[in-house]
Amino acid sequence: MTEPITDFTTVVPFWKPRVTPVELDKASEEQLEAMKVTPSDTGVGAYVLVLAHDPQTLKERTPLFNGIMYSHGGLSRTETELGAVAASLVNRCIYCAAVHSNRYNQLAKDETVIEGIFGAGEAADLDPRQKAIFNFATKLSECPSEAGEADVRQLMDAGLGMDEIFDLVLTASLFGWANRLMHVLGDPIPRES
């Protein structure tokens, strides 16, 4: 059996569920609607098919996820990905960290930030704005949260507006949700297997 990946990577792994996914041809109308698929759709991933066991929540979460990650205005796409990476590191979700660090690198066209974070965490050599974002998202992701007013001030001092800070709060919080599904309900497996 292939061992799960335990080190952070920017190469997106396969996700192997620990719970039996819903079988697409046996899915109920409600499950199909929540997955936003037609019965002839063959590209539905294991993750969505696992979450289809709870169609009520899945139906709301998908537009919520898109609304936070891909909305216009507020925090840039690149910085949103940095917040997602910070949360995924705290929660050690290898899969989410890979997807979002990979996307960060593509958007930023710079791999040094993620390399620094994977290597040194909060001690990484980041500019003040990146540092403030990474610091706040990391602290908010702890349980209980360790973020304080001073961390919000650090964001403001680094030039973030309240609309950007709100987007960062939403992103880090959203990965408090996503990591608790992805990391708990399945294993990241190397792609070549």
Partner 1 sequence: MDDIFRSIVVEAAGIAADHPLAAVIAGRSDVMQLTQASHDAALKPEPPGGLSHAERAALACRMARLSDEEMLARHFEAMIPESGGWQAIADPAFDGTDDERTRAILRHTDLVTVDPKRAAEADIAALKSAGILEPDIVRLSELIAFVGYQVRVVKGLRLMAEAA
Binding site for partner 1 (CB under 8 A): 18-20, 50-51, 53-54, 56-61, 63-64, 67-68, 71, 73-74, 90-93, 140-141, 143-145, 147-149, 151-153, 156, 162-163, 165-170, 172-174, 176-181, 183-185, 187
Smallest gap from Cβ 98 to partner 1, in A, equals 15
- Decide whether 34 or 37 has the Cβ nearer to partner 1: 34
Question: DSSP for 91-142?
Answer: TT-HHHHHHHHHHHHHHHT--HHHHHHHHHGGGS---HHHHHHHHHHHHHHS
Distance CA 61, CA 173 (A): 13
- Least spacing, CB of residue 168 vs partner 1, in Å: 8
Residue closer to partner 1 (CB basis): 9 or 111: 9
Helices (H) then strands (E): counts for the chain:
9, 2
CB of 101 to partner 1, least distance (A): 17
In whole angstroms, the minimum distance from the beta carbon of 15 to partner 1 comes to: 13
Q: Cβ neighbours of residue 102 under 8 Å, at least 6 residues apart?
A: 10, 11, 12
Residue 95 CA from chain centroid, whole number: 8
Q: Please, which residue, 78 or 173, has the CB nearer to partner 1?
A: 173
Q: Smallest gap, in angstroms, from Cβ of residue 131 to partner 1?
A: 17
- 151/132 Cα distance (integer angstroms): 7
